[in-house]
Amino acid sequence: MKKFFASLIALIIFAAGNIALASPISVDGYFNGIRLCGRVRVVDAFADIKVQVVDAFADLRVRRVSTFPAEIGEWQFVSVGEDFTIEFVDAFPDIKIEFVDAFPGL
């Protein structure tokens, strides 16, 4: 009986650890079919992605660029002609981002 409970506890701890480490972004940089690089427009409602800006434990590191956003995490903010839209939120985000000056991505 002790072995059963020890195994059960180990399984619960393992499962909880894997759930905490899960990211909503795929390993190739997609969120719900949206490649997370390109031209981005900020909107107030009905965005493709709800984003929360954090200082630590981000799902994605984002670098602002002025031209040619080609790598995952490189975003060019535009007012028209966007690849996808985002809405900045304080709670219940789809993804969490951290703005960086170098090494954008996962």
Whether 32 is covered by a domain: the verdict is yes
Residue 5 domain-assigned (yes or no): no
Mean of the per-residue pLDDT values for the chain?
Answer: 85
Phi, psi of 37 (to 5 degrees): -150, 160
Total domains in the fold of the chain? 1
- Residue at 17 is within a domain: no
Condensed to tens digits (0 to 9), the pLDDT of residues 38-94 reads 999 999 999 999 999 999 999 999 999 999 998 999 999 999 999 999 999 999 999
Q: Residue 105 domain-assigned? A: no
pLDDT of residue 59: 92
Residue 95 belongs to domain spanning:
24-99
Instruction: Give the pairing of strands 74-77 and 60-64.
Output: parallel
Query: Is the residue at 83 inside a domain?
Result: yes
Q: Is residue 2 part of a domain?
A: no
Task: Evaluate whether residue 95 is within a structural domain.
Answer: yes
Give the E-state strand segments of 1-106 in sequence order: 30-31, 34-35, 38-42, 49-53, 60-64, 74-77, 84-88, 95-99
pTM for this predicted structure:
0.74
> Residue 86: inside a domain, yes or no?
yes
